Amino acid sequence: MLRGFLLLFVLTGVALVAILGFRGQKGSQPPFELFPDMVRQVKVRAQAPLGFFADGRGPRLPVAGTVPIGYEMPNPENTPSGAPPGESLSHQRVAFSAGTDYYNTGKMGDRWGTGIPIEVTPQLMERGRERFNITCAMCHGATATGNGITKQYGLATVVTLQDDRIRKMADGEIFNTLTNGKNTMMAYGPNIMVADRWAIIAYLRALQRSQNASINDVPEEHHAEMEKK
């Protein structure tokens, strides 16, 4: 009984050494790893090629139109897409300024003011449309009805901006909401230049009107066309 066990033990030992080899022995096969954990992982190495991307290049070039961290923030003089329209002279240097006037705070004295403090031009509306679609639409939806894509991912508190309350809200209060956030909405002041915030509000007003338009909003000369449809 004992002899049989010893024989089996020795044979097993010999078999193990035959299969796994001596300690420190070099082999051409990669070592067998029981728990490799994170010893080897798919990752980008500096200056090394990578098969993951079609061009075989590991380090990536910055995406066109993005601003890498650490670079100068856009200001009206070097904004890639040009200066935001309507930027008044006194604000040209401080695109993310924190002055105390209506333009910078939305407040007139100690109450919310209303009105767009820069000239509303077709370019400003276009800029507002672009900025709204980039910074607001994923939550509030392209027509501001509160049905952006984030809703499907569980952001349940997003509100419609077509609400009567928001429609009647002073522009200055909306400006403050964008700048500093409100309840569960984050602050977008650090991401959006002051002039662009006003462009967004001007565009939002147009969106609100577009969802509540009557025949009187259509220029007289187009009425006949409307009736045909």
Give the integer Cα–Cα distance in Å for 208 and 217. Answer: 13
* Contact status: 183 vs ligand HEC (CB under 6 A): yes
Q: Are 144 and 162 in contact (CB under 8 A)?
A: yes
Single out the residue of 104, 105, 162, 177 in contact with ligand HEC (rule: CB under 6 A): 177
Q: Which is nearer to ligand HEC, 50 or 158 (CB)?
A: 158
- Both tokens assigned to 185: 């909405």
Q: Which is nearer to ligand HEC, 48 or 73 (CB)?
A: 73
* Contact status: 158 vs ligand HEC (CB under 6 A): yes
Q: Which is nearer to ligand HEC, 50 or 166 (CB)?
A: 166
> 111: helix, coil or strand?
strand
Supply the minimum distance, in Å, between the C-beta of residue 178 and ligand HEC. Answer: 5
Residues that bind ligand HEC (rule: CB under 6 A) add up to a total of 22
Binding mask 91-130 for ligand HEC (x = CB under 6 A): ----------------------------------------
> 137: helix, coil or strand?
helix
Q: Are 148 and 137 in contact (CB under 8 A)?
A: yes
Instruction: Decide: residue 9, CB within 10 A, 0-12 exposed, 13-18 middle, 19+ buried.
Output: exposed
* Contact status: 195 vs ligand HEC (CB under 6 A): no
| Integer angstrom CA distances of residue 31 from 16, 18, 37 | 15, 15, 14
* Contact status: 143 vs ligand HEC (CB under 6 A): no
Q: Are 58 and 44 in contact (CB under 8 A)?
A: yes
* Contact status: 50 vs ligand HEC (CB under 6 A): no
Query: Within a 10 A sphere around the Cβ of 129, how many other Cβ atoms?
Result: 19
* Contact status: 166 vs ligand HEC (CB under 6 A): yes
Residues interacting with ligand HEC, by CB under 6 A? 135-136, 138-140, 150, 155, 157-159, 161, 166, 174, 177-178, 182-185, 188, 200, 204
